[in-house]
Amino acid sequence: MSTVRGPWNKLGHDLPKWPVLLVTGQPVGPELGREICVRTAEIGPFDTLDDRLWREEVCEIFGIERPLRNGSRWATAESLDQARSELRILDLQYLTNDRINASRTYRPSGWCDWNGVIGTAGMDLGGKWPGLADLNEEWRRIAAAFPALELRAQILASSYCYDPVPDELEYIPLVAWQVGGGCSQRLRAPGAALREVVLPTHEDDIAALGESGSHRGCTYAELKEAVEQVRSAW
C-alpha cells in the first residue's frame, strides 16, 4: 500500500483534518438510490434543524420521539436506536450522505443522490481527522450492504494542507478505493484525480437555500416514500 505523508502525520493523524472526497460510479436507479440515501443518513442531527416544521416532519417519518417533559427538541437515545435498527442504518461517521438536510454545508450533499446517481465532484466528510482504518471499514460496510454498488472513491488534500499560503490551489490525491460486487478494496496507489474538483462557493450555497432559507434536500412526500420503501423491504 502507498504511504500517505503530510505535516498532519507529525500530529499523529493519517489524513488532514478536512480532506476532500471524490467519487465516480455507475448509477444504481431511483429505488436503490432511495435506500442508500436513507440507510447512510446520520439521523441524530435532525434534532438540531433550524427549520422547525421540517424537523417535526423528518422525526415523524423516521419514528423519532422526544421526551414529553419540558417540550424537549432532543430525541431519546432509545428512539434513535430503534429507528437505526428498523431501517438498518449503517454505522458511519465519515461517509454519510446528507440528502435529507444539509448538515455539512448550506446545501444537501453526498456521494449518492435520490435518483441513484453515484458521484461527487468534491465534498467534506462527515467528521474531521479521518483515519484510514475507519474509512476502510466504512467502505467495507457500504459495499456489503449494497452489492450492486460500483464506484471508485478518492481522498484528496488541498495544497493549503501543506502550505498555508500556496502559490496556487491544487488537490493532491492521497488514497483511493474500488467498491463493487459487495467488496471494497483500497488501491495500492491513489493515481491521478478521478475528476476535476468543483467545490460550491459561498454564493452557490446561499443561492441554494432559496427564498425559504431552508436546507431541505427533498420533499415530505419523497422522504416518506423512501423511508416506507426501506422499512417494508424486510
pLDDT of residue 171: 92
Q: What's the grid cell of residue 231?
A: 422499512
Instruction: Check: CB of residue 101 under 8 Å from CB of residue 46.
Output: yes
Distance CA 3, CA 170 (A): 20
> Which has the closest alpha carbon to 205: 109, 99, 96, 97?
109
Distance between CA atoms of 154 and 184, rounded to whole angstroms? 13
Q: 135: helix, coil or strand? A: helix
Q: Are 154 and 38 in contact (CB under 8 A)?
A: no
pLDDT for 202 equals 57
Residue 2's nearest CA partner among 195, 138, 176 is: 176
For residue 95, which of 22, 12, 173, 203 has the smallest C-alpha distance? Answer: 22
Contacts of 136 (CB under 8 A, 6+ apart): 177, 184, 186
pLDDT the model gives residue 159:
84
Q: C-alpha 206: how far from its chain's center? A: 20
- DSSP letter assigned to residue 8: G
- Output the nine-digit C-alpha cell for 218: 427533498
Q: Where are the beta strands (DSSP E) in the chain?
A: 20-25, 119-124, 151-158, 171-180, 183-186
pTM comes to: 0.90
> Which residue from 45, 70, 71 is spatially nearest to 62, judged by alpha carbons?
45
User: Under 8 Å CB-to-CB from 201, ≥6 apart: which residues?
Assistant: none
Per residue of the chain (234 residues), what is the pLDDT tens digit?
Answer: 566 788 888 888 999 998 999 999 999 999 999 999 999 999 887 776 777 888 889 989 999 887 655 556 677 889 899 999 999 999 999 999 999 987 666 668 899 999 999 999 999 898 899 999 999 999 999 999 999 999 999 999 988 788 777 777 899 999 999 999 999 999 999 999 999 999 876 565 555 555 454 578 899 999 999 999 999 997
DSSP label at 35? H
Q: Do the bridges between strand 151-158 and strand 20-25 make them parallel or antiparallel, or are there none, so unpaired?
A: antiparallel
